């Protein structure tokens, strides 16, 4: 990830919820909801010389998935772009468990972690926790993510603090 991309991310992480589509667009990616993705595919990132995006990459998310799932999928595909763009080739598709045949389990783990950082950045989670929003349910609502995703994030950020989550 280059310094300009880091600046773009920070510019979109001033308040929760993060507008993940605007963040993706700021990174030069086009985002589309698709009703034509195969069953079990949550999203994909594709390269196309005909793409209207600055990067020539576009993200497609499964329009049949829930709002929270689509948000995480966009963040996950942004993470693939930021971390693995040289490995994407023409396309990387991720199933419902965010696994692809093209990338390693470690690549997918890294993309999931960065996706969580994009949607639930530590500085904002810390800010809201200090304001008294320490429950996973209330934080999930503020960040527009699923409660299980917020629980995982809180355990990752505050694994020693039993009063959080």
pLDDT in tens, 35-57: 998 888 899 888 876 666 567 88
Could you say which residues of the chain have pLDDT below 50? 162, 165
Q: Using alpha carbons, select from 82, 77, 121 the residue that is nearest to residue 1.
A: 82
Q: What is the pTM of this model?
A: 0.86
Tell me how far apart the alpha carbons of residues 75 and 116 are, in angstroms, rounded to a whole number.
8
Q: Which residue has the tokens 């991309």?
A: 5
CB 83 within 8 A of CB 73: no
Tell me how far apart the alpha carbons of residues 25 and 115 are, in angstroms, rounded to a whole number.
15
pLDDT digits (tens, 9 = 90+) for 108-127: 889 999 999 999 999 999 99
Q: Using alpha carbons, select from 48, 111, 112 the residue that is nearest to residue 83.
A: 111
At residue 71, φ and ψ (nearest 5 deg) are -60, -45
Q: Enumerate the domain spans of the chain.
A: 14-104, 120-165
């Amino acid at each position: 990830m280059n310094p300009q991309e880091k600046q773009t991310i920070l510019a979109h992480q001033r308040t929760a919820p993060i507008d993940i589509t605007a963040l993706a667009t700021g990174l030069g990616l086009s985002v589309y909801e698709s009703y034509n993705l195969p069953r079990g595919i949550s999203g994909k990132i594709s390269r196309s010389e005909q793409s209207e995006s600055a990067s020539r990459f576009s993200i497609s998310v499964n329009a049949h998935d829930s709002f929270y799932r689509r948000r995480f999928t966009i963040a996950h595909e942004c993470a693939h772009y930021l971390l693995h763009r040289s490995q994407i080739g023409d396309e990387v598709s991720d199933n419902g468990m965010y696994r692809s045949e093209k990338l390693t389990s470690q690549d997918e783990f890294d993309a999931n972690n960065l996706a969580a950082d994009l949607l639930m950045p530590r500085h904002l989670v810390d800010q809201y926790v200090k304001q008294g929003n320490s429950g996973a349910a209330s934080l999930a609502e503020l960040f527009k993510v699923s409660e299980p995703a917020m629980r995982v994030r809180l355990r990752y950020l505050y694994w020693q603090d039993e009063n959080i989550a």
